[in-house]
Structure formats: structure tokens, C-alpha cells
A and B are shown apart, each in its own frame.
Chain A
Amino acid sequence: MRSFQQRLAEFDANGVRVVGISVDPPEINRRQSQKLGYAFPLLSDPKAEVIRRYDVLHPGAGPKGADVARPAEFLLDSNGVVRWVNLTENIAVRARPEQVFEALHQVGIAGE
């Protein structure tokens, strides 16, 4: 998500909002976004309800066997319709901003 913060101005300029979602409580998200300089919302889903609704739960993969979200990225258009999905097969390999910009370009949401 560091890389998304680095290119946040470009997302803003294209009218694209970036949002992170995890099981972390708001206090941790506040501390982390301050520490890492994140200027986009980090949403807190401590009971993993939304994470389950999106079927991106990774059961028992957190500390002490806690349920966490697996890395996953969804691109929604202004109607809330999914236009691009990235479900990694390796926890360490996450979507990069370039992929999202390419997807935005392909579905005709953002310009060059």
C-alpha cells in the first residue's frame, strides 16, 4: 500500500479513491497511517464481516490463529460494479498501482 500512497495524487487526479480494509481496529489504523503517511482511508473490519462478504477471509492466518483478510484488490466503477479483480496466489505478491492504472485505462475510466 506504500506504492499506492506514493501515487495517490494520480489516483485523486483521476477521481479514483483508494481504500484499505483489514481486521485491524481504528486505533492501529490511525497509528499506522500516521507512521506511514497514508492519506487514504484504512477501514476497520474487526469481526471480518465485510471480509467474509467479499469471500477474502484467510482463516487462522493471523497472529494466534486469528482470522485476517487475504490480500485482494477490487476496482469498482461509480455504480459500485466490479470492473477488475486481483486475487493473488502468493501472499507476498500484491497488486501494484500500475496494474490498477492499466485496468482503469482498459475499462475507460481514467485517461492516459
Chain B
Amino acid sequence: MDFASGGREIGMKRKWNWPIWIGFVVAVGGLFSYEFFAQFPITRDFPWASLLLFGIGAALLVVGLFRAFGRPQRYRGKVSGLVFSAIAFVFFAFFCYGVFYVLQQVPASSGAPRVGQKAPDFILLDQSGKPVGLGDLLSGSKAVVLIFYRGFW
């Protein structure tokens, strides 16, 4: 590091550049918190909560870098600031790739039953192992909502 030109000369220990570290933690939180936020439609349909965390993290990292490079005699963190900013950016890119590309790779389902068509019949086992047919569901009901989902695995 650059202590030759830094605080050593003026007999002062350089300060901990906290925005770099907090910013990094917040940005990492942006990635890993999505698993939590994805449980709620309001933060899943558009991932604004995770993007907000990335934004706060990025702002803090920028502040930290400005301190490290603008006043190197006072603040540490030139190298760590760059390294952690780069890692945070990779996380952000990975998040965007997942949310804005991978999640949108959905098959076209052009052969799915359309409005006005009769829904294909079926008999499947429910969670108690009992066979349930579409006819059973329809009888005595005004309507049936079929929800196809990816599964809990």
C-alpha cells in the first residue's frame, strides 16, 4: 500500500474507510436478500428492494473511493476499495443476468388451452394420495382455478 506518502509522514494513522466495507456488505445483501424478497409479490414482480440495496451499496463504495483517492493521507482503502467495488459489481451483474434474463426465459406455450376451449381432462393424486379428476373439481363448483407452478422440489 501507499503508506510512504500517507499518514506515516505526518505521524498519523490513517482512518478506517468504513463506507467501502459497509457499502460492500450492503451490495452483497442486495444479491442474497432476493431469496427473502422473492417470497412477496411486491418485491418479486419487480426486484426494487434488492436494486435499492445495490444502489445504496454502490453509493457508499463511491464515497469510500473518493475518500481513499481524494485524501489518501487520511483514509485507507485504495486497493481494498477497488477490489470490493469490482466484486460488488460482479454480484450486481450476476443479479441482473438472473432477474432480467434467466427469469424471463419462459417457453411460449403456444399450444396451451385458449379462452373458449375445453380444458383437457386429467386425474392426478392430491397431497393425501387420493386421485382427483377435473370432473370432481368442476362438479358443484362455479369455477376452477388451475395454478401450474414450478414446484418446491
Contacts and interface: CB of A to CB of B under 8 A. Distances in A.
A9 interface: no
Chain B contact surface mostly:
loop
Size category, A interface:
35 or more
B112 to A, nearest CB: 4
Contacts of A80: 118-119, 121, 134-135, 138, 144
B150 A70 contact: yes
Most buried by B among A14, A55, A63, A83: A55
Interface in A61-100: 61-63, 68-85, 87-96, 100
Contacts of A90: 45, 103-104, 106
B137 to A, nearest CB: 5
B149 A69 contact: yes
Contacts of B109: 55-56, 70, 72, 87
Size category, B interface:
35 or more
B127 A19 contact: no
B11 interface: no
Contacts, number: 218
Contacts of B146: 19, 21, 54, 73-76
B111 A19 contact: no
B36 to A, nearest CB: 13
B115 A54 contact: no
Interface of B: 38-39, 41, 44-45, 47, 99, 103-107, 109-122, 124-129, 132, 134-135, 137-138, 140-153
27 contacts: A14-B142, A15-B143, A16-B144, A18-B145, A21-B146, A26-B127, A28-B152, A42-B127, A43-B122, A43-B132, A44-B127, A54-B113, A56-B112, A62-B153, A70-B148, A75-B145, A76-B134, A76-B145, A78-B141, A80-B118, A82-B119, A83-B143, A85-B113, A92-B44, A92-B103, A95-B147, A110-B142
